[in-house]
Chains A and B, each alone.
Chain A
Amino acid sequence: MPQIQIPSPLRQYSGKQASVEVPAKTVGEALDGLVSQHPELKRHLYTDEGKLRAFVNVYVNDEDMRYLQKEATKLQDGDTISIVPSIAGGY
Chain B
Amino acid sequence: MLKIRQPIYDEIRRHGEETYPYECCGALLGRVEGDTRTVSGSVRCRNTRTDSASDRYEIDPVEAVRIQRDARTRGLDIIGFYHSHPDHPAQWSATDLAEAHWFGCSYVITSVEKGKAALTNSFELTGTDENNKKLADEKIEVISK
Q: Which residue numbers of A lie inside 8 Å of B, CB to CB?
A: 5, 7-9, 12, 18-19, 43-44, 55, 57, 59, 62, 64, 80, 82, 84-91
Q: Are B95 and A91 in contact (CB under 8 A)?
A: yes
Q: Is the interface of B mostly helix, strand, loop or mixed?
A: mixed
A-B contact pairs, 18 of them (CB 8 A): A8-B102, A8-B104, A9-B104, A57-B64, A62-B65, A62-B66, A64-B62, A86-B58, A87-B58, A87-B81, A87-B102, A88-B58, A89-B57, A89-B95, A89-B96, A90-B23, A91-B85, A91-B93
For A62, what are the chain B residues with a Cβ–Cβ distance below 8 Å? Answer: 62, 65-66
Q: Are A18 and B72 in contact (CB under 8 A)?
A: yes
Our pick among A7, A9, A85, A91 for the contact of B96 (Cβ within 8 Å) is A91
Q: Are B62 and A88 in contact (CB under 8 A)?
A: no
Q: Is the interface of A mostly helix, strand, loop or mixed?
A: strand
State in angstroms the CA–CA spacing of A16 and B109 once bound together: 28
Our pick among B25, B78, B99, B103 for the contact of A86 (Cβ within 8 Å) is B99
Our pick among A8, A64, A90 for the contact of B56 (Cβ within 8 Å) is A90
How many A-B residue contacts, CB cutoff 8 Å? 95
Q: Which residue numbers of B lie inside 8 Å of A, CB to CB?
A: 23, 25, 27, 32, 49, 52, 55-59, 61-62, 64-66, 68-69, 72, 77-79, 81, 83, 85, 88, 92-93, 95-96, 99-105, 107, 125, 129
State in angstroms the CA–CA spacing of A15 and B100 once bound together: 23
State in angstroms the CA–CA spacing of A89 and B88 once bound together: 14
Q: Are B95 and A8 in contact (CB under 8 A)?
A: no
Q: Are B102 and A9 in contact (CB under 8 A)?
A: yes
For A82, what are the chain B residues with a Cβ–Cβ distance below 8 Å? Answer: 65, 68-69
Scoring A18, A44, A55, A84 by chain B CB atoms within 10 A of each residue's CB, the highest score goes to A84
For A55, what are the chain B residues with a Cβ–Cβ distance below 8 Å? Answer: 99, 101
Using known A-B contacts A87-B58, A87-B81, determine if residue A5 contacts B105 with beta carbons closer than 8 Å: no
